[in-house]
Amino acid sequence: MKKSLICLSVLASFIGAVHAEEASPLTANLTLTTKYKYRGQDQSNPDKTVAPALQGGFDFTKNGFYVGNWNSSVGLDNGTNLEMDLYGGYKGEITKDFGYDVGLLRYQYPQGAIGNTTELYGAMSWRFVTAKLSYTASKRYFGYREARGTLYADLSANYEVVKGVTLNAHLGGTRFANDADDAAAADGKPLANYLDYKLGATYDFGSGFSAAAAFVGANKKGTWGDANKGRLILSVTKSM
């Protein structure tokens, strides 16, 4: 994992140098966060409020088409300590204020392949609001069996209230496929559909640096335990 993250840092620095000289379709980002939550759930040590994660990736965009990679350190029970996301798609505009985005996303876990997941997604945006729906195309959904057809709906808003300060709000919902619920019940670990949320703000320092603070969590803690507990998460990002 350390070698992968070091390589990511070197690549990001190289991209930043190229970007500084001329406009480039290749961009990169690096983030240090106090906790990695995804869809409201802890991705490392649910017993701790602070479990730092290093994250980063790059994107290549040309004529509306894009491909990219994003990575994060994690700490899952099956020994997995690295998540690698690979994605590609197309973004376009219907009018000046309305846009759309369609694509495919693969979550890859080198040390724990049981969690590998593939999703198809589509999104519509209006100015600062985006609605997105993701469909699980793989048989597994982050380790849960017979999960093809699991859905995730996402409504997000990012509104700049004053120059450099953007409010961030998000509400998402996970609906498991019936077969996934049946398979989990057979394993003695019944699933529960749940909602997740985020409310926070981001401050842009300029020169690609930004900092964010957000309260993130999910309901149905009776089923999912402390993984869904609300957390205050702080992060610093460098975009290049």
What is the C-alpha separation between 165 and 201, in angstroms, rounded?
7
pTM of this structure: 0.89
Nearest to 172 by CA among 38, 35, 39, 37: 39
**14-21 CB contacts, 8 Å cutoff, 24+ apart:** 15/58, 15/240, 16/208, 16/240, 19/240
Q: pLDDT per position in the chain (240 positions), as tens?
A: 444 444 555 455 554 544 444 568 999 999 999 999 999 999 988 888 999 999 999 999 999 999 999 999 998 766 678 999 999 999 999 999 999 999 999 999 988 788 999 999 999 999 999 999 999 999 999 999 999 999 999 999 999 999 999 999 999 999 999 999 999 999 888 899 999 999 999 999 999 999 999 999 999 999 999 999 999 999 999 999
Host H or E run for residue 31: strand 26-33
Beta strands 231-239 and 26-33 are: antiparallel
C-beta separation of 36 from 234 below 8 A = no
Residue 218 structure tokens: 């999910």
Q: What CATH number was assigned to the domain covering residues 2-239?
A: 2.40.160.40
Q: How far apart are the first and last CA of the chain?
A: 22
The sign of the dihedral angle between the CA atoms of 1, 55, 71, 154 is positive
Question: How buried is residue 119: exposed, middle or buried, by Cβ count under 10 Å (0-12/13-18/19+)?
Answer: buried
C-beta separation of 231 from 216 below 8 A = yes
The sign of the dihedral angle between the CA atoms of 28, 29, 30, 35 is negative
